């Protein structure tokens, strides 16, 4: 059973928000970096501020400060991503097409016991390889696919008060996700590692990997994330329903 939230005075709350404002800005900039079609930075910052304010009285802030920072980053990022999902950046046609691709890739994984190569995936979808590559580019330009979507969408993801069954779902998803990432191509795995784990911007990922533009880095990140989603789907874990 979790501890009751701690009530703070307005002065303490303002000081708290100033303390974590740089974190909010950094997370907003990283997400904005993956949005080539529109500037949503100010809206992302606002969503992050509201999420941080809601966590001001969280007991971990005082009992376990380091764990609280992890929790807060998850809550802030989640609020920003929820904002983008609500606005439905990618056209429904494109989202539907990408979901079909994930399902097709999941069926290939179940049949082949490995990721399909581009030729195998294209044939399974009734597409040409060129059409498959066009789709990777199109979905990457329209809206980024967030790695958070392949983990259980519970706000208690990093919270020690999470319900046991939520923790079990999270741990199972993380195990499968580790396997999924290990099976990616070297380019996909490197791009995901730099972008997600080391939190580099897409420009920095492109520079490290020797690409001419961030669009190439976005392609590898998007392609890797879609494959991870397909892998989890093949294991019976739908990223949108777990």
Predicted confidence band of residue 93 (pLDDT cuts 50, 70, 90)? confident
CA distance 202 to 143: 14
pLDDT at 166: 58
> In the predicted model, what is the mean pLDDT of residues 25-49?
83
Taking only the tens place, the pLDDT of each residue in 127-180 is 999 999 888 877 766 655 554 554 443 333 344 445 565 566 667 767 777 888
The b-or-e profile of 146-166 (16+ CB within 10 A means b, else e) is bbbebbbbbbbbbbeebeeeb
Helix (H, G, I), strand (E, B) or coil at 58: coil
DSSP string over 31-71 = HHHT-TT---HHHHHHHHHHHHHHTTT-THHHH-HHHHHHH
- In this prediction, residue 25 carries a pLDDT of 94
Q: Which residue has the higher pLDDT, 216 or 173?
A: 216
- How many other C-beta atoms lie within 10 A of the C-beta of residue 37? 10
Higher-confidence position of 156 and 182? 182
pLDDT for 150:
47
Chain-wide mean pLDDT for the chain?
79
pLDDT digits (tens, 9 = 90+) for 38-81: 678 899 999 999 999 998 888 788 788 888 898 898 889 888 87
Lowest mean pLDDT among 1-15, 53-67, 102-116, 178-192: 1-15
Gyration radius from the chain CA atoms:
19
């Amino acid at each position: 059973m979790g501890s009751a939230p701690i009530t703070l005075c307005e002065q303490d709350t303002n000081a708290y928000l100033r303390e974590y404002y740089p974190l909010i800005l950094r997370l907003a900039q990283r997400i904005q970096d993956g949005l080539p079609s529109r500037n949503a930075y100010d809206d992302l910052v606002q969503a992050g501020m509201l999420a941080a304010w809601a966590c001001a009285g969280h007991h971990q802030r005082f009992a376990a400060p380091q764990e609280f920072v992890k929790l807060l980053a998850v809550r802030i990022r989640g609020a920003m991503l929820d904002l983008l999902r609500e606005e439905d950046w990618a056209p429904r046609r494109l989202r539907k097409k990408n979901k079909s691709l994930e399902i097709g890739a999941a069926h290939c994984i179940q049949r082949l016991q490995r990721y399909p190569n581009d030729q195998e995936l294209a044939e399974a979808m009734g597409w040409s390889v060129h059409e498959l590559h066009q789709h990777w580019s199109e979905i990457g330009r329209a809206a980024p696919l967030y790695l958070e979507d392949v983990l259980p969408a519970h706000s208690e993801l990093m919270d020690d008060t999470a319900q046991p069954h939520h923790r079990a779902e999270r741990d199972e998803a993380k195990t499968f996700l580790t396997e999924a990432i290990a099976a990616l191509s070297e380019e996909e795995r490197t791009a995901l590692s730099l972008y997600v784990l080391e939190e580099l911007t897409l420009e920095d990922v492109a520079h490290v990997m020797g690409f001419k533009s961030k669009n190439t880095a976005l392609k590898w990140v998007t392609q890797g994330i879609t494959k991870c989603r397909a892998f989890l789907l093949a294991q019976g874990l739908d990223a949108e329903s777990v």
